[in-house]
Amino acid sequence: MNESDSEFYARLLRAYFDSANDAIFVLCNELKFLSCNRRMESWLGLPESELTRHNCRRPITDLVGNTDTAKVFEQNARKVFEGESQCFECLLEPVDAAQRWVEINMTRVDVDAGEMVIAVARDTTERREQMARIHYQSTHDVLTGLPNRASLQEFLDGCDRAGGPGEQPLAMLLIDVVHFRDVNEALGHQLADEVLKTVADGLRKVARQFHHARVYRLESDRFVVLCRATAARYWPGVTEAIQHGFAAPIEQSGMQLTLGSNIGVSLYPDHVVRAGDLVQAAEAALHAVKQQATSSVRMYYRGRDASGKERLALLNDLRKAIAGASIDVELQPIVPVRDQGPVRLEALARWQHPERGRIPPDRFIALAETSGQILALTWRVIERALRDATPLIREGRIASLSINLSPYCLLDAGFPTRFAALMAQHGVAPDAVMLEITESVAMSERMQQHTVRSLRELGVDLSIDDFGTGHSSLSKLRQLPVAELKIDRSFVTGMLASDNDEAIVRATIQLAHSLGLEVVAEGIEDDAVLARLGELGCDYAQGRFLCDPLPVGELLGWLEKRQTEQDIG
């Protein structure tokens, strides 16, 4: 290669060197510059000629503008010269250029002139900012801007990992906004959200009055004020300030709204050994508040309040069971009364506790509702039920699947969208799913205008469960987007012994049919009741006499046996 060729390739290599998107630089064993490209020049705000000038060179540790970064450079450079390539991230804050986060890969190279380090650095500022935004969104409530449950648990878990907050105690005040459901019903979703923002602002003002107090929003109308250090020792004063704030009327849509508060209090280390258990203890205390009418504030008493302690333990176990997919689903047939058509199924949640045995559904579902876990529980049941029942629907062995929804699920505006996505994921047609809602929910104007109608628009059928136990308006009933009424078992069980119960069952069947609705009778316990329901024109029946709720494996056997009996008959 002649000299002109060498110059050409040298210029070509330099052009490539300078056009790189990453910063590239070479350091001697004293961490002084031997060479760098234009990207590094712009990052440091100094030209290469000055960085490499003889007798004027300065180590990069003098130029990064951050003592922590200088230490990181020195530590990693030492390992590089020992023969270990290094990759690390640091903050550059040079005097004459913008600060930025960079990821640097450093490698040692041995040449005749001695040892040197070749480094390639990539700007990670935008990536860090994006990750920070994602973390903020995952740890903060969109509506109020307050840190959320995940953020609270992250802080508490951090206290435990660090061996606890030392001498500084913690006091958790779990606040439930009284009458918020009424506000939501009267004003609608958007205006109710504005009320929640006002509540959040009021709690922020209280927190600012006390050092080391911070506000979180757990879900819906539940907030936490977490007190540390001095504020934790004076938590009664914080509680009083919160109650005083709730006593003042809120102006909304030309109305004055007065909202009360129930507050459950838990203390670390007085009540719990781990800071991470403060939430569960406060939830137990709040539950106790709602069971009494004498006070709106209650502390959690470890040892003295046995029921609260048991509830706390069960609550913690339930959270683990939901997270660990330990909640099972059983399927109970809903059978045609007057013909041999295909059966339907209802999905029922089941919890087999490893130590306590089977926990009754009414107990753990109520626990999930009062502790804010009902959404997670419901999604667990829906996913499991769709997984088990969809193959049976496709094969034509069952007509549809019924799933119960809590009112709390219907307060979630995003519920219909997520449910539609799940149906699409499992490949089940919307008209093969029946969602059961309570009579009070069906009568709710708020539910009719939003979530209930959104679900019906998906093509999903809706059923009013436990019909007859609420206070239905006949004028509203005929306007509801429902396809079915389920007569509560309390009327069905006693209908042969009570003329009043039979009259209610008969009237319900006639009413439903006049509105074009089908009827399901629950709680069938003997053949005589089933026969009488057939005489009254009931469409479907469900109960232990027909079939207990079964795991999908046992249900398959029941379906095969029923099909065989129909074929013989």
Return the pLDDT at 468. 60
Q: What's the rounded Cα separation, in Å, for the pair 569 and 567?
A: 5
What does the block give as tokens for 536?
A: 């009254």
Return the pLDDT at 442. 65
CB atoms within 10 A of CB 87: 11
- How far, in whole angstroms, is CA 201 from its chain's centroid? 23
Q: What are phi and psi of 405, to 5 degrees?
A: -120, 135
Return the pLDDT at 328. 93
Burial string for 26-48 (b: 16+ CB within 10 Å, else e) reads bbeeebbbbbbbebbbebbebeb
With a pLDDT cut of 90, the percent of the chain lying above it is 44
| CATH 3.30.70.270 residue spans of the chain | 142-304
Instruction: Name the superfamily (CATH) of residues 324-568.
Output: EAL domain (3.20.20.450)
Instruction: Please state the pTM of the whole predicted model.
Output: 0.53
Distances (CA, A) of 173 to 108, 142, 282, 298, 420: 57, 22, 7, 10, 37
Return the pLDDT at 304. 41
- Please name the amino acid found at residue 162: A
| CATH 3.20.20.450 residue spans of the chain | 324-568
> For tokens 């205006």, what's the residue?
191
CB atoms within 10 A of CB 67: 10
CB atoms within 10 A of CB 449: 12
CATH 3.20.20.140 fits domain 142-304: no
Return the pLDDT at 89. 94
Return the pLDDT at 358. 87
8 A C-beta contact, residue 274 and residue 161: no
Those residues of the chain that have pLDDT short of 50 are: 164-165, 303-306, 471
Return the pLDDT at 178. 85
What does the block give as tokens for 400?
A: 């549809």
Return the pLDDT at 501. 87
> For tokens 């007190």, what's the residue?
227
8 A C-beta contact, residue 206 and residue 213: yes
Instruction: Name the superfamily (CATH) of residues 3-127.
Output: PAS domain (3.30.450.20)
Would you call 209 exposed, middle or buried from its count of C-beta atoms within 10 A (0-12, 13-18, 19+)? exposed
- How far, in whole angstroms, is CA 392 from its chain's centroid? 30
| CATH 3.30.450.20 residue spans of the chain | 3-127
> For tokens 């295909």, what's the residue?
342
> For tokens 């919307």, what's the residue?
430
Q: What's the rounded Cα separation, in Å, for the pair 498 and 496?
A: 6
What does the block give as tokens for 451?
A: 């979530």
